[in-house]
Amino acid sequence: MSAPSEISHRAAELRSQLHRHNRLYYTDAKPEITDQAFDSLLRELQALEAQYPDLVVADSPTQRVGGEPIEGFVTAAHSSPMLSIDNTYSFEELQAWYNRTAKSFADTQTIDSNAGSLFPSADAVTCEARLILEPKIDGVALALRYEKGHLVQALTRGDGQKGDDITQNVKTVAAIPLQLETREATPPDFLEARGEIYMPRAAFVELNRQREADGLDLFANPRNLTAGTLKQKDPRKVASGLRYYAHGRGEIPPSFAATHGQFLEQVRRLGLPTNPHTRIVSSLKEAWRFISEFEQTRHTLDYATDGVVLKLNDYIQQDRLGHTSKSPRWCIAYKFAAEQAHTTLLAIEWQVGKTGKLTPRATMEPVPLAGTTVTHASLHNFGEVLRKDLRIGDKVVVEKAGEIIPQVLHPLPEHRPADAPRPHAPDRCPRCDTAVQIENDSRRLQEFEVYQRKVEREKTKAEKENRSPAAIPPPEPIGPLDETARYCPNPDCPAQFRERLTHFAGRHQMDIDVLGEKTIHQLADAGLIHTLGDIFRLHEKREELLALERMADKKVDNLIQGIEDAKPRGLARVLAGLTIRHVGRNSARLFAQAFGSLESLTDANLEDLHSLEDIGPITAQSLHDFLHSDAGRHVIEELKQAGVDLTEPRAPSDSSPLSSPFQNQTIVLTGTLEHFTRDELKTKLESLGAKVTGSVSAKTHLLIAGESAGSKLAKAKTLGIKIWDENQLLQNLPG
């Protein structure tokens, strides 16, 4: 049904208002309405679009929360190389750059002596001033391409020649306009702005705080977090709160700007955020003054900076100087040294995160550093503690990475007290006393695999040549310094139990939707569940359940029934639900289908587990460890007792006569299907041996296109990939 004209009018008006308020907020930093008012406009538009889907346009503000997960990123060539910048920490080098730059103009033209500037007067007409200075933001470089005012491509720097196409992810970033502003200027046919995408400190601290609570590795600085989140395969998981400043030209029409200052002004008028802390100067002295001022003010900004970038303002001058293979000659970054402080390491404590990870944390004599007092720092893992050779009582050097997170850099052994004790790592979980599992650097493990292969190859070769094999030196044995993590593997560990149970009951695992997070907390608070097995005994505790708040008869029935219904889900889902390190949904399915039952999995040795295609040695080892640990055996016994199905139909193997037409096929689903939900069909096809992925690429074998399929269908057509509609699918499905 197409929308009546007053409705499409209203939608257009809402879109334009939302774009405007977005710009006022992110680009002009002058919001006119509250966040709530903004949300209410957004919701109104969402409601209209839900009612009349034909109102949805690609760059509607409602389309920010991106499409589906993608399998990998497509790379694309940059319009011109994305270079890096020459850095310096010293005034002398900065001066040398300035003089060199000036001299290169002096060779071709006369020096403008009266202006006190080192640059030629011939350029004075187009060059209002000589250098333009900007904060150097510690973020991730991003090239944005707009065509006819619409955002069409976002590329990372990549290797400088080509970058990853992260357009879908970038579209979720509210600070980046989906369409350029038309009120003050007309967008050119095409415009490529390069700039920095970054995460403000507050958002970074908050995200890391959540990660710490979840027992996940912390991001060392906002830049790593930004880079990590932009490479998310699922656009919906791109962290909100990212910001962007344009700081340079990519491919632009020749008449767009004659200087960098003009470029910034133009793109700002078109709605792209640019850094207000930008200054144009005409001497090194002025530049130095700006740098000294900025060194103070930068701590008050809500994003991390690590220096000031100095650029020739005039494009003619820039182009004349050109670039080396690595960096432009017309620009240099003056970097600030990271701030450091000395203090004393008082203790190392161990914390158990929600995933079971045990993390060492340093407590130090409080010391002021870059605006705050530092008392604690994560030491990441015990290998790190040993590699740094830290002792309790050591004087240590601390630094704030990305100006935010304190890090212990190294001890000062010359100040070490004679009796400073070596730190210890717990062998048992501080919460539940289960023996911990240690993970070592996977690269070191690979060294051993490579070694093994070399030995084999040499043996074969020597046999052929009828000689004895040459000795190949083995890698250094794996030792304590290679440790990268320590885990408590106990699914019932109280430090982690609720999280693990939430995961176990989750949609893709046991799918017990009556057992949501709230209910789990309620049951755990009331002391009714302590182990995974306890949930299957809840039916024996009807009275206690009824005594709980918001638990009427009907709800208790539903709860007990819901849990009962989950018992036959099968081994793949059980394994995926047990939070075994490295064993996710996919590998759980592979294991379950290959071995058919928990017994055969438990009987299998490490090589059997490893021999499965797509299963690596680390995953195999992890499952093996779990199945043979006390904690693992215990939870499995409980599930067995409860009558949970621990078997799985075996997948037909390649050579079997049962082999399905979907075996080993990479399939993409798109559009709306009548007979299945996406998840159902995915599970079905996977059980038939297919791999179901989120995006169409040259590797796709088959696209299944339902109603109103869009860009994936178009792409599959261009790539000449086999396409089926739902009918063709139904004809080919067994049974």
Binding characters for ligand IVH, 49-88, by CB under 6 A (x = yes): ----------------------------------xxx---
Q: Which of 623, 634, 220, 207 lies closest to 406, judged by CA?
A: 220
Residues 142-171 that bind ligand IVH (CB under 6 A): 157
Residues 331-350 that bind ligand IVH (CB under 6 A): 331, 333
Which residue in the list 30, 103, 136, 326 is annotated as catalytic? 136
Contact residue for ligand IVH among 328, 489, 491, 570 (CB under 6 A): 328
The least CB distance from residue 80 to ligand IVH, in Å, is 10
- Given the complex with ligand IVH, which of 63 and 88 has the nearer CB atom? 88
- Given the complex with ligand IVH, which of 305 and 343 has the nearer CB atom? 305
Give me the phi and psi of 663, to 5 degrees please: -55, 125
For residues 104 and 97, what is the distance between their CA atoms, to the nearest angstrom?
11
Q: Does residue 222 interact with ligand IVH by CB under 6 A?
A: no
Contact residue for ligand IVH among 136, 171, 357, 380 (CB under 6 A): 136
Q: Output the DSSP codes for 100-117.
A: HHHHHHHTTS-B-TTTT-
For residues 217 and 378, what is the distance between their CA atoms, to the nearest angstrom?
10
Q: Which amino acid is it at 513?
A: D
- Strands 702-705, 722-724: parallel, antiparallel or unpaired by DSSP? parallel
Residue 1 in tokens: 């049904």
Q: Does residue 403 interact with ligand IVH by CB under 6 A?
A: no
Angle between helices 91-106 and 284-297 (to 10 degrees): 150
Contact residue for ligand IVH among 42, 127, 131, 137 (CB under 6 A): 137
For residues 627 and 656, what is the distance between their CA atoms, to the nearest angstrom?
29
Residues 449-508 that bind ligand IVH (CB under 6 A): none
Classified as helix, coil or strand, 124 is coil
Using the rule CB under 6 A, give the single segment among 216-224, 264-272, 325-333, 506-514 that binds ligand IVH: 325-333
What count of Cα atoms within 13 Å lies in the side-chain half-sphere of residue 274? 21
- Given the complex with ligand IVH, which of 84 and 442 has the nearer CB atom? 84
For residues 39 and 27, what is the distance between their CA atoms, to the nearest angstrom?
18
What is the distance of C-alpha 281 from the center of its chain?
39
For residues 114 and 91, what is the distance between their CA atoms, to the nearest angstrom?
25
The least CB distance from residue 273 to ligand IVH, in Å, is 12
* Residue closest to ligand IVH (Cβ): 141
The least CB distance from residue 436 to ligand IVH, in Å, is 41
For residues 445 and 441, what is the distance between their CA atoms, to the nearest angstrom?
7
Contact residue for ligand IVH among 11, 45, 48, 141 (CB under 6 A): 141
- Given the complex with ligand IVH, which of 11 and 331 has the nearer CB atom? 331
For residues 34 and 12, what is the distance between their CA atoms, to the nearest angstrom?
21
The least CB distance from residue 87 to ligand IVH, in Å, is 7
The least CB distance from residue 84 to ligand IVH, in Å, is 4
Using the rule CB under 6 A, give the single segment among 31-39, 105-113, 134-142, 490-498 that binds ligand IVH: 134-142
User: What pairs with residue 136 in β-bridges?
Assistant: 307
Contact residue for ligand IVH among 61, 66, 248, 706 (CB under 6 A): 248
Residue with tokens 């030209």: 249
- Given the complex with ligand IVH, which of 309 and 438 has the nearer CB atom? 309
Q: Does residue 273 interact with ligand IVH by CB under 6 A?
A: no
CB atoms within 10 A of CB 35: 10
Buried residues in 277-314 as b, exposed as e (16+ CB within 10 A): bbbbbbbbebbbebbeebeeebeebebbbbbbbbbbbb
Contact residue for ligand IVH among 309, 392, 644, 681 (CB under 6 A): 309
Q: Does residue 196 interact with ligand IVH by CB under 6 A?
A: yes
The least CB distance from residue 215 to ligand IVH, in Å, is 32
136 catalytic? Reply is: yes
Task: State which H helix or E strand residue 141 sits in.
Answer: strand 140-147
Q: Does residue 247 interact with ligand IVH by CB under 6 A?
A: yes
For residues 618 and 640, what is the distance between their CA atoms, to the nearest angstrom?
27
- Given the complex with ligand IVH, which of 150 and 329 has the nearer CB atom? 329
- Given the complex with ligand IVH, which of 337 and 418 has the nearer CB atom? 337
The least CB distance from residue 689 to ligand IVH, in Å, is 44
Q: Which of 176, 163, 328, 319 lies closest to 240, judged by CA?
A: 176
Task: State which H helix or E strand residue 247 sits in.
Answer: strand 243-249
Using the rule CB under 6 A, give the single segment among 132-140, 236-244, 488-496, 714-722 that binds ligand IVH: 132-140
Q: Which residues does the annotation mark as catalytic?
A: 136
Residues near ligand IVH (CB under 6 A): 83-85, 134, 136-137, 141, 157, 196, 247-248, 309, 328, 331, 333
